[in-house]
Structure 1
Amino acid sequence: MKSLMMQGTQILSTGSSVPDSSLSNDQISQIVETSDKWIVTRTGIKKRRLLTGSRKSVIDLAVVAALKALDKISMSALEIDLIILATSSPNDLFGSASQVQAQIKAFNAVAFDLTAACSGFVLAMVTASQFLQSGSYRTILVIGADVLSKWTNWSDRSTCILFGDGAGAMILQSCLKEFNQVLGFQLNTNGNHWNHLCLSYEEKINPHPILNVYQGSFKYISMNGKEVYKFAVSQVPLSILKCLHDLNITINDIDWLLLHQANERILTAVANKLSINANKIIVNLNNYGNTSAASIPLALDEALDQKQISNDDIIVISGFGAGLTWGTVIIQWKC
């Protein structure tokens, strides 16, 4: 019988993976009418990575990111109790986490997908921490991975300049409460505006002639950029402020602001609203674009590898996107 005594959550390691193939703004300008200057000015993105080649899927990236996280701490995959794969681009609509479990040989782990688009990794982190703090599981692998290049309309200038492919992983483990790193969280959803950013199912015009069942297929990503910008800039600071207030933490206590890497203008606007200095923003979207659920763990792993983050640093992490969903989780890094 598993213990139900409340525990803390510690982060053991991170890992990330991006495809080898890179697509620059100049290359995109050969596909649609745009330019490097236009894209950089409006988004901050200079290039993005694309998963090319036959039979490649989100699983390939997720597996590499997971194995890197395991390798950093010399942990066997058999020690993992649960795998949560945050993705909106599975290669199987029934779920892809189980295939990740099999490929990394984490045969003792339960595995499931979590779909919340660009907020996915934040929700997956929070979900994992609840399992750990309740004592239900001891070691959890959380992966954020997306290959939105497969769902991008490459003739739509408003979206094809934004998205890239990637994966990021994090291994969390239960610990004594005094060593807790996940300090608190705040989550939100507003389904009334789902259509501002979506990847919708479209029915065929005519039903099955006998069964009267309408079938169809999924379309490309659709986005109302102006509305998404307004949503993010107005709601994300409120989420962060509420989370800080609940924890009795001030803006001045923040060492790093790690937002979903959607658009550099959004990152700057949120920081300005919170009066957070620009040198505290973790940014890597210029090299990877918007990698959806992968963007936060990918940026965190890169910042850690570059030794930007120090022991006891307080990091405010916020994801936002399709749904519309958004949320904040605050962590204190322990080396």
Structure 2
Amino acid sequence: MRDKKASILYEHMRGELDNLYRFFLELNLLDKDQSKAIPPETVKTAIGEFLIQCPVYRYYGNHLPLSESEATAVQSLLDKISTSKPKLTTALSLLKEVLLTKPQSGDPAYNDRASRFYQRCMQFTGPLMAKGVEDTLMYTYTRFIGHDEVGDSPEFFGLTVDEFHQKMIDRQVNWPLALNATSTHDTKRGEDVRSRLNVLTDLADEWVEEVRVWQQLNQVGEAPIEMMSTLFIRRWLVLTPCPARTRPLHGKRISLTAWKSIWRKHLERLNAILRTPTLMKPTKMRPKRLPVCYWIRSVRSGSDFSRFIDASLILG
């Protein structure tokens, strides 16, 4: 998760990070000696890690000092970064001073300036989480795609019956009037597809056999084909039947830009795999020959290659 968010920040939001650092300096939150003591890039990197490693979309404090619970969360976040990035310890200490220590002195002018910087940070943590996790990690980490949904987590991989009942008790006690939507504007797969994906978790042995047979038939073994092949076969197994028809895997709507030369061979390989007759040979989980219908969404940019490869395979 951290790597995907870092990639989005430094490859696509670097200008925003530069602006945030300049804003930090313009607010005069550090004295001159502190500003000179640490290289500018180190401070900027520390601010970047604060955005990247924020565990939620954002914190909502709009004045300093922060509430006790939010201050504790920010303190824990900065401590965690300091542990994983010891070279940033000094710069992170400055951020703690700016956001947590100095506001306790009660200087209204300073607290107003520091609050503006804090809230500006929170304006970027949300988009960074959305692009890094929702639109990147959830299309590239395919251990179990049923968990690759907003409101779920790719890191979560099941719980015991007792744990489930305890969560339901906690929900009844703490959130008795809450609603649990099964689909939102962010949902990547419908309820029926996710239900069928959940069934695969009870068919582990059969699933492993299916993947091995399919990969052997199609000689799949090179990245990213290896990872994408398991994504394809899962989609193929669970989606609703429709009349047989095919569409090209890439066409006029697909924008091949900077990554054209890198991915062309993989696109050609995927096309070949999906067209080959062996794709429709019977296996234990797929006992009869079935024609394949598939389509694919257009991409917005090279960073969305994983969206491009997340084809929907439909049985006919």
Could you say whether these structures have the same fold, taking a TM-score greater than 0.5 normalized by the shorter chain as the test? no
Which has the larger share of helix? 2
Indicate the TM-score class for this superposition, using the shorter chain for normalisation: under 0.3
Q: Relative contact order, CA 8 A, sep 6+: which one is greater?
A: 1
Give me the TM-score of the superposition, normalised by structure 2.
0.26
Which has the larger share of strand? 1
